[in-house]
């Protein structure tokens, strides 16, 4: 469902004590951590959603995964088992993936651009959760947020061919007419690790061409684009 906080719009989902939110660009809500406005809005998450801490990373298009410790590390996935701590990732076309185990009270946020997807960061994050916290992968649930989808994501054939060289991606159709389907690759990672199909929810929203929400898009806006913050927390 959609919720409005201080005239800002968020796409919101709830599962008992789990809260999932994808920010939008309505009223130019910007979470660029390199600006004072972005930092202020990240701080505002605390009062807007009644959480004690807000966690995020300096994203580097890597497969580096961190347990939340209050430090802004360089990486692209963050995990915590702490309640009342919102952890999230910044996007403006890349794929935000929010993950949780309700049974074991573990949450994670992943930034998966083409490099992170190539490196299988979603698979690696879930494996870390399963191994560290003895989570049954069948309890894992996943939300895939707004991103530059296959309808609009123009991508070079030379790099796409490198994806096909990886065993995990060899037998799926994810590149067509010069467009890359990152979600198809992420879904393959989820299948590989054993996440149940019914536990995967895609918002099916393209940052470039959708007309339902105001969203930031690096490829569409080119300059002066902001960042959206996709986050998850436990009450």
> Which of 42-46, 123-127, 140-144, 166-170 has the least mean pLDDT?
166-170
- Write out the two tokens for 170: 């060899």
- Helix 182-193 vs helix 121-133: angle between axes, to the nearest 10 degrees? 30
pLDDT digits (tens, 9 = 90+) for 78-103: 999 999 999 999 999 999 999 999 99
> Which of 12-21, 167-176, 192-201 has the least mean pLDDT?
167-176
Domain architecture of the chain: domains with CATH:
2-234 (3.60.140.10)
Find, among 78, 100, 82, the residue nearest to 235 by Cα: 82
- pLDDT tier at 193 (50, 70, 90 boundaries)? very high
- pLDDT tier at 152 (50, 70, 90 boundaries)? very high
**pLDDT recorded at residue 221:** 82
**pLDDT recorded at residue 205:** 98
pLDDT digits (tens, 9 = 90+) for 105-128: 999 999 999 999 999 999 999 999
170 secondary structure, DSSP code: T
Find, among 128, 171, 177, the residue nearest to 153 by Cα: 177
- pLDDT tier at 55 (50, 70, 90 boundaries)? very high
> Which of 51-55, 61-65, 215-219, 222-226 has the least mean pLDDT?
222-226
Instruction: For residues 235 and 233, give the distance between their C-alpha atoms in angstroms, rounded to a whole number.
Output: 7
pLDDT digits (tens, 9 = 90+) for 204-228: 999 999 999 999 999 998 777 899 9
**pLDDT recorded at residue 156:** 92
Instruction: For residues 187 and 36, give the distance between their C-alpha atoms in angstroms, rounded to a whole number.
Output: 36
Q: Model-level pTM greater than 0.85?
A: yes
Higher-scoring residue by pLDDT: 220, 49: 49
Segment (H or E) for 2: strand 2-5
Measured CA distances, 20 to 11, 12, 88, 192, 235 (Å): 8, 6, 10, 24, 11
**pLDDT recorded at residue 223:** 76
pLDDT more than 70, % of the chain: 100
Q: What is the mean pLDDT of the chain?
A: 96
């Amino acid at each position: 469902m959609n919720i409005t906080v201080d005239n800002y719009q968020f796409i919101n989902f709830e599962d008992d004590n789990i809260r999932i939110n994808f920010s939008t660009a309505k009223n130019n809500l910007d979470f660029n951590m390199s600006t004072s406005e972005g930092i202020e809005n990240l701080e505002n998450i605390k009062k807007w959603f009644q959480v004690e801490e807000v966690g995020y990373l300096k994203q580097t298009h890597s497969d580096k995964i961190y347990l939340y410790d209050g430090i802004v590390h360089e990486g692209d996935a963050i995990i915590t088992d702490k309640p009342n701590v919102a952890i999230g990732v910044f996007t403006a076309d890349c794929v935000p993936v929010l993950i949780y185990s309700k049974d074991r009270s573990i949450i994670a946020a992943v930034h998966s651009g083409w490099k992170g997807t190539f490196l299988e960061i979603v698979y690696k994050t879930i494996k870390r959760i399963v191994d560290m916290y003895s989570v049954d992968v069948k309890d894992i649930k996943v939300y895939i947020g707004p991103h530059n989808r296959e309808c609009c994501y123009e991508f070079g054939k030379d790099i796409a061919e490198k994806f096909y060289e990886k065993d995990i991606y060899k037998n799926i159709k994810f590149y067509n007419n010069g467009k890359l389907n990152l979600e198809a690759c992420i879904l393959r990672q989820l299948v590989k690790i054993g996440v149940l199909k019914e536990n995967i929810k895609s918002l099916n929203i393209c940052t470039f061409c959708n007309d339902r929400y105001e969203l930031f898009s690096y490829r569409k806006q080119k300059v002066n684009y902001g960042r959206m913050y996709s986050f998850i927390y436990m009450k």
